[in-house]
Amino acid sequence: MEERETSRDIDRIAAQWVARLDRAPPSASDTEQLNAWLAGDRRRRGAYLRAKALWLRSESAQALGPRFDPAGFQAAMTTTTPQPRPRERRSWVPWGGAIAASLLTAVTLLATLQMPTAYATAKGEMRTVPLGHGTTVTLNTDSRIQVFEDEGERRIRILRGEVLVERSSTALPTSVEVDGRRMQADSATFLIRKLAHQPTQILVQRGQLLLAAAPSLPLPLSSNTGVSLPANAAQAWSVSPLGSSQMGRELAWREGKIALQGETLAQAADIFARYSDTPIVITDPQLAKLHVAGLFAANNPLGFSHAIADVFDADVRQDGERIVLERKH
C-alpha cells in the first residue's frame, strides 16, 4: 500500500513548484505536470496557494530576478537524470536552494495555522457543498462557514446563517464548531442556525450528535430533538423534542420556501428580510401583531404581502424599494 504523503512533503514540493514557475511563464509541459500534481491530493492546492502568496510577498524572491533556476527540482518530482545546466547559471544554484528552503520554512509555519477554506452565500442564495468523505453542507441565505483540514481530521466552523450538515460516513473524523462549542457525529443530519440577535440553535433530523456542553460532560442529541445554546455558562441547557412536521418546516428553505406557523406579521417580515433586499414595512402596530401561518416562496415578499392583505383586509403598496402593508382607510 502506498504511503500517504505528509503535509510537510506537500509543502516542500509546493514551494519548489512556486520557485520553478517564478522564473518564467510555464510551458505546456510545466502546466500539465503541475495540474497532475495538484489533482493527486486535495491538500496540495491549498499548500500551493499558500506558497505562492508567501513568494509574492518575499523580497528575497524579487531579488533573485528572472535568472533564478532552483537546482534539483526535477529530481524531487521525477526519476529522470538531471541534465547539466549552462555554466553561467551555476552561480545561482546556492541562492535558489536558499530561497526555496526559506520559503519552505515559511510555508511550514503558515501551514500550522490551518488556513481554512471559506464558503458563503449571498442574500437569497442557497448552496450545497460536497466536502468529500461522506460529508455535505448546505448553506441557506446569507451564511458563511470555514472548513479546516489537517492530518486526518476536518473541522467546520459556522460563522453565521443557517447550515445543514449531512454525515454518512466515518472515513474522516469531522467536528463542527459554533459559538465556541464543538459537536461530533459519525452519521447524522443536523441543522445549525446562527442568526443575529437570536440564540444559536442546533436541530437534529437524523442520527445522534454529541455536543460539548461542558468539557467533561457531552450532551447527546438524538433524532428530532433540538437545543438553543445558552448565552452564558450559568444558564441551563434545555433539549426539546421536535415533531416530524416541525422539522419539515425548519428545513422548508431547502425547497425555497418559508414555513410560518403562528409567527406575527412583524416576525414574518424579519424572516423575509433575510432572503430579499426588498423590506416589508407594516405601518400599523396592531396589524404587525397578527399571527400568520402558511407556506410561502422565500424570494417573493410581494406575493406574500398580497396574500396577507387579502386575509386581513389590508392594503399593499410599493414605496421605492419597500413594500408597505397598512390598514385600509
Whether residues 92 and 130 share a domain: the answer is no
Whether residues 122 and 239 share a domain: the answer is yes
> Among 62, 87, 111, where does a domain finish?
111
Domains of the chain: total: 3
* In a domain? residue 150: yes
Instruction: Provide CB contacts within 8 A for 122, sequence distance 6+.
Output: 141, 142
Question: What domain range is 216 assigned to?
Answer: 117-244
Q: Is residue 301 classed exposed, middle or buried when 0-12, 13-18 and 19+ CB atoms within 10 A define those classes?
A: buried
Per-residue pLDDT of the chain (329 residues; tens, 9 = 90+): 456 677 777 877 887 877 777 666 778 888 888 888 888 887 888 777 777 766 655 544 444 444 444 444 444 444 444 454 554 444 444 555 555 555 555 555 554 555 789 999 999 999 999 998 889 999 999 999 999 987 778 999 999 999 999 998 777 888 999 998 999 988 899 999 999 999 999 999 999 999 886 665 788 999 999 999 887 766 778 889 999 889 999 999 999 999 999 999 999 999 999 999 999 999 999 999 999 999 999 999 999 999 999 999 999 999 999 999 999 87
* In a domain? residue 74: yes
Whether residues 133 and 186 share a domain: the answer is yes
Instruction: Provide CB contacts within 8 A for 245, sequence distance 6+.
Output: none
CA-based radius of gyration for the chain: 27
* In a domain? residue 240: yes
> Among 58, 87, 111, where does a domain finish?
111
Whether residues 202 and 107 share a domain: the answer is no
What pLDDT score does 315 carry? Answer: 94
What pTM, to 2 d.p., does this model score? Answer: 0.66
Q: CA torsion 244→248→249→255, rounded to 10°?
A: -170
Whether residues 48 and 96 share a domain: the answer is yes
For residues 23-49, b (16+ Cβ closer than 10 Å) or e, as one string?
beeeeeeeeebbeebbeeeebbebbbe
> Among 111, 144, 178, where does a domain finish?
111
* In a domain? residue 132: yes
Whether residues 29 and 147 share a domain: the answer is no
Whether residues 233 and 205 share a domain: the answer is yes
* In a domain? residue 249: no
* In a domain? residue 251: no
Give, in order, the Cα–Cα distances in Å from 178 to each of 105, 160, 211. 32, 9, 10
Give the number of residues written for the chain. Answer: 329
What pLDDT score does 261 carry? Answer: 92
Residue 241: strand, helix, or coil: strand
* In a domain? residue 142: yes
